Structure 1
Amino acid sequence: MAEQTNNSQVFDYIVVGAGTAGCLLANRLSADPANRVLLIEAGGRDNYHWIHIPVGYLYCIDNPRTDWRFRTEADPGLNGRSLIFPRGKTLGGCSSINGMLYMRGQARDYDGWAELTGDDAWRWDNCLPDFMRHEDHYRLDRGGDADAAHRDYHGHGGEWRIEKQRLKWQVLDDFATAAVEAGIPRTRDFNRGDNEGVDYFEVNQRSGWRWNTSKAFLRGVEKRSNLTLWHSTQVLGLEFEKSETGEPRCCGVKVQRAGEVAMARAAREVILSAGAIGSPQLLQLSGVGPAELLAEHDIPVVAALPGVGENLQDHLQIRSIYQVKGANTLNTMASSLMGKARIGLEYALRRSGPMSMAPSQLCAFTRSSEAYEHPNLEYHVQPLSLEAFGQPLHDFPAITASVCNLNPTSRGTVRIKSRDPRQAPAISPNYLSTPEDRQVAADSLRVTRRIAGQPAFAKYQPEEVKPGVQYQSDEDLVRLAGDIGTTIFHPVGTARMGRADDPMAVVDSQLRVRGIQGLRVVDASIMPTITSGNTNSPTLMIAEKAAGWILGRAS
């Protein structure tokens, strides 16, 4: 049990945020019974039924029960539009509301991190064991179809379950064939370091249920006597004291819990795992960040780190919609009460069908032009269409082919608006703010048209509803990208790691905050550049690697 001292509780490690990274960290750090670990989550328990039914993401995003409900500032690159910016607010964090898509990115992403930090620990070959350590891949189940190469790249018996999807759509099969006709090879595995190709996504599910990090890393472990969980607890700020060297040391956190303000002290470390929005926000509120921003809000400077809240990166998806003929799509399946009943019955009996669907089913990685030596586009293809997230399905059969620029050069910011930790920060992604990103946007829409125009898809007589074939020039397509582009929910980079001589680096290569003892950041905010794919599983890898460093230093 935690020790009581001066109306505060003392732990060895305090982890702020029970999301993707925080759940794994709590599991690993508390595995040694000598470590007293506190895990703090602002949201409640993950006992909302829609968290666990895969299609329930529709009811979790922008829901105050499960989502922080952030919004971006009006974005010039999106023609002045503001977007919802979902972040999980429940046990499991974003893994409780995300797309459940298992994707690591490309080997070059991690080799690039090693160059930027000067630390070979971040090279792909040295990250691969950290991915595999917590994996439970279905192809390695007894009787699975794994080949020798698959066994070299995937793990089995870990906490993080990966399965194939429990559905099939002919219209998506034919779109995949059209992609092959357009020059994109088929692949069996997007996660071996080169993800070029087309296939169905693999998903973080178990037997048709969402598999979030709360289930994976806290279930059962939560009962450890040396692990304390405070959910529904708002962290108000970090607490500091002067160390023997004169540097500030993070000694704990101030929280509001059950209507009362309390302190929790950390004998060894405080670890921020509040995500790419929450971690920089909490640092800034606590006096760690750009000096000018802190002065603007009369916050005393603990450490002037200009990179806190800078370097925001995200994947902007551009949604092309094609009306089709003679195809079975979700638009038609769910158009009647009888159709919806059939969908519900299939899930109840078999845990399959549309209710087991991740938000996207078919994936493809390719290049926007021959100028790129590596895939710089990712497709999320769906057998459905709608005007915008949360709106009804269209009343005609259609598919959506969303494409995103994997390596955007645009950079945004996260900055507090006040000293109130309950007020959302200003989130400014600055999408499409560079010429390169605008060119990739225009070219990516042309790649989509090239795929849809292949013979394998011609039988559906596809008609481009969005953006519309009348738009052909770069100028037209960039403007349309701004009109229809939306976040794909992958914010990273706002507390990035870097070398000692990098003035914008917030943490070193072992994720320790510059100039402050006893404080690390372990989440997607530490990525210096965004990974070439979905960001949830790379965040787990980051947490796995950090846990090894923390436990090694403590032993």
Structure 2
Amino acid sequence: MNRTSAPSSDTQHYDYVIVGSGAAGAIIANRLTQSGATVCVLEAGPPDNMLYLHIPAGFIKAVFNPKYAWQFSSEPTENTHGRRIPIPQGRTLGGSTSINGLIYNRGQSTDYDAWAALGNPGWGFNDVLPYFKSMEARTGGDDHYRGRSGELPISDIDWIHPLCSAFIDGAVETGIPRNEDYNGMYQAGVGYFQRTIDKGWRMSTARRFLKPIKSRSNLDIKTYAQASRILLEGKKAVGVAYCHPKQPNTTRTVMARKEIIIACGAINTPKLLQLSGIGPAGLLQEKNISVVHDLPGVGENLSDHYSVRVVAKVKNSDTINELVKGPRLAGQIFKWLTKKPSVMALSPSLVHYFWKSLPELDAPDLQGVFTPASYKEGYVGMLDDFPGMTAGIWQHRPQSRGHVRIKSADPFEDPIVQPNYLEHPQDQLTLIRGIRLARKLLQSKALERYFDEETLPGKLCESDNELLDFARQYGVSSYHVNGTAHMGPKSDRFAVVDNQLRVHGIENLRIADSSIMPSIPSANTCAATMMIGNKAGDLIRGRSTLR
């Protein structure tokens, strides 16, 4: 026996152990317990019992709260003007679905066809569409593309602001078509976002996939249970060592009779693998960790959407900046409590625009967001003191790649996270064009009566070099990190899992979260990660693909 750590005296045994209760992990637990298997879910954070986790507008209060979100940040580079970029990730039941921006966005069909073309049969769009549909409860749209009876409500906005209407009209005026369902046949266009909100409340995976099944006798959810190591017998995964964050010297263990599924995200998943001796041999040796399996791709291929916000002062209209202050905030809370449209039940971004940085492109390579609000220095957090509106933009498929690497063998030390934002010259060019598009849309004829002046980047910022410098100074993460344990065949030296999500070279170990994405989707990554969890449930149970 070659266990990396011996089990403690209070060891518990289950059929499956899932590390992480987020976008994928909660759904996997739901699916596996349906068939009677015993399942243990390890969640490093606390229960999701803070009110702000359930009120959509509570996003601002939750995302930077270290109790409920890992406060990761990128390493500084010249492309971010030496700044560390915050990359918070969920650290509570529901993971990032409990703190994110609530947008439901699948991406383009070609995203998934590209995954299949990279040597991952079963992951083309026609293969994954049934898994999107089976978890959706959506009203409207084409039945071919949309699900009706799933657990996850997908709602339309019910709070309409004149700035949003004018922005949409202005986008149409500039040649961007109106698109009522960007999760339907095609993505290109402008319109209102679809959200994981129902009756004014956030619909996290904890709320929709764990809470309804918490009474199942074959499900054991452990909170404050931070995984520190995968236990191995040779190259077979048999259990997980974990500890309470406030009791780091007391290790407990859970054992898996069948499989262990890692679902703790694109930063914590490679960290856990590396701590367990699975990863690049050179890195592990440098950190005095015994090499169990040399897997060079663990922690590599990190990608993220780097977003920039163009901000303008508003005239002739109130904005969210004013609606959430003083007595007016009390009025909004009252409306929310009485089930009326309110800013309390909004996602941070209200309007989408998917468009092309160059007219000759076949499909959008940019995603934009609009909201009748603005934040100090363009970063979601503190609202500006003046009436403002924001048009954000990011590149769909950045070519810059980075890495996640442990700093030491201490499981409580954050790893090095380096997305290498804007490293690739093409990313720089595409984002500059995106900024110009956002500016154009804010200054459309339809918005003319509301547009006062641009505050970020400001009218003096005009040349490509000036816009790039602005992007480097003010750009932020979209919190869409992915790709650090990417899926691919054995012929791909840097692939970490196969098309069944099994870790290459290790028995009884799978990964199911955004880290397995071979390339970043043309979308916010939450919906795709939930789909991965839904499909993983069938793969683990040996079921055929949904049709």
TM-score by length of 1: 0.94
Q: Which moved more, 1:515-524 or 1:367-376?
A: 367-376
Matched, 1:166 2:161: no
2:439 and 2:240 map into 1 onto residues whose CA distance is: 52
Matched, 1:310 2:300: yes
Alignment of 1:361-440 (within 5 A): 361-388=350-377, 389=379, 391-440=381-430
Tell me how far 1:326 sits from its aligned partner: 0.6
Find the counterpart in structure 1 of residue 4 from structure 2.
Answer: none
Deviations 1:386-434 (A, max 9, x none): 1244653222211000001011001111110110111100111110001
Aligned partner of residue 220 in structure 2, secondary structure: strand
1:339 to 324, 328, 331: 328
Matched, 1:294 2:284: yes
2:426 and 2:151 map into 1 onto residues whose CA distance is: 40
Q: Which moved more, 1:338-347 or 1:248-257?
A: 338-347
Matched, 1:506 2:496: yes
Tell me how far 1:352 sits from its aligned partner: 2.5
1:62 touches 1:84 (CA, 8 Å); kept in 2? no
Aligned partner of residue 512 in structure 1, secondary structure: coil
1:340 and 1:546 map into 2 onto residues whose CA distance is: 43
2:13 and 2:339 map into 1 onto residues whose CA distance is: 48
Letter in 2 for 1:549: L
2:230 to 234, 238, 258: 238
1:384 touches 1:397 (CA, 8 Å); kept in 2? yes
Deviations 1:248-271 (A, max 9, x none): 101111111484322211111100
Find the counterpart in structure 1 of residue 145 from structure 2.
Answer: 153
1:209 touches 1:351 (CA, 8 Å); kept in 2? no
Q: CA, structure 1 residues 390+501, in 2 after alignment: closer, same or farther (shift >3 Å)?
A: closer
Find the counterpart in structure 2 of residue 8 from structure 1.
Answer: 11
Deviations 1:221-267 (A, max 9, x none): 1111111111111111001113xxxxx10111111148432221111
1:446 and 1:369 map into 2 onto residues whose CA distance is: 12
Find the counterpart in structure 2 of residue 245 from structure 1.
Answer: none
Find the counterpart in structure 2 of residue 254 from structure 1.
Answer: 241
Aligned partner of residue 376 in structure 2, secondary structure: coil
1:409 touches 1:434 (CA, 8 Å); kept in 2? yes
1:75 touches 1:429 (CA, 8 Å); kept in 2? no
- For structure 2, list consecutive stretches of 5 or more residues without a partner in the other structure: 1-6
1:78 touches 1:483 (CA, 8 Å); kept in 2? yes
Tell me how far 1:370 sits from its aligned partner: 2.1
| RMSD across aligned positions (CA) | 1.6
- For structure 1, list consecutive stretches of 5 or more residues without a partner in the other structure: 140-145, 243-247
Deviating runs (4+, > 3 A) in structure 1?
4-7, 257-260, 388-392
1:531 and 1:390 map into 2 onto residues whose CA distance is: 23
Matched, 1:517 2:507: yes
Letter in 1 for 2:52: W
Find the counterpart in structure 1 of residue 257 from structure 2.
Answer: 267
Q: Which moved more, 1:429-438 or 1:393-402?
A: 393-402
Deviations 1:75-124 (A, max 9, x none): 321111111111000000000000111100000000000001241x1111
Tell me how far 1:452 sits from its aligned partner: 2.3
Tell me how far 1:45 sits from its aligned partner: 0.7
Find the counterpart in structure 1 of residue 3 from structure 2.
Answer: none
Tell me how far 1:333 sits from its aligned partner: 2.4
2:308 touches 2:471 (CA, 8 Å); kept in 1? yes
1:233 and 1:374 map into 2 onto residues whose CA distance is: 43
Letter in 1 for 2:11: S
2:238 touches 2:255 (CA, 8 Å); kept in 1? yes
Matched, 1:17 2:6: no
Find the counterpart in structure 2 of residue 143 from structure 1.
Answer: none
2:22 and 2:337 map into 1 onto residues whose CA distance is: 28
1:315 and 1:382 map into 2 onto residues whose CA distance is: 19
1:407 touches 1:530 (CA, 8 Å); kept in 2? yes
Find the counterpart in structure 2 of residue 279 from structure 1.
Answer: 269
Deviations 1:243-300 (A, max 9, x none): xxxxx10111111148432221111110000000110000001011111110110101
Find the counterpart in structure 2 of residue 142 from structure 1.
Answer: none
1:452 touches 1:462 (CA, 8 Å); kept in 2? no
Tell me how far 1:371 sits from its aligned partner: 4.3
1:199 to 182, 191, 198: 191
Tell me how far 1:6 sits from its aligned partner: 5.8
Aligned pairs, number: 534
2:172 to 174, 180, 196: 180
1:54 and 1:110 map into 2 onto residues whose CA distance is: 29
2:56 touches 2:202 (CA, 8 Å); kept in 1? yes
Q: CA, structure 1 residues 209+391, in 2 after alignment: closer, same or farther (shift >3 Å)?
A: closer
1:207 touches 1:351 (CA, 8 Å); kept in 2? no
2:475 and 2:504 map into 1 onto residues whose CA distance is: 36
1:166 touches 1:356 (CA, 8 Å); kept in 2? no
- The percent of aligned pairs where both chains have the same amino acid is 39
1:359 and 1:210 map into 2 onto residues whose CA distance is: 12
Find the counterpart in structure 1 of residue 204 from structure 2.
Answer: 212
1:203 and 1:83 map into 2 onto residues whose CA distance is: 26
2:92 and 2:77 map into 1 onto residues whose CA distance is: 28
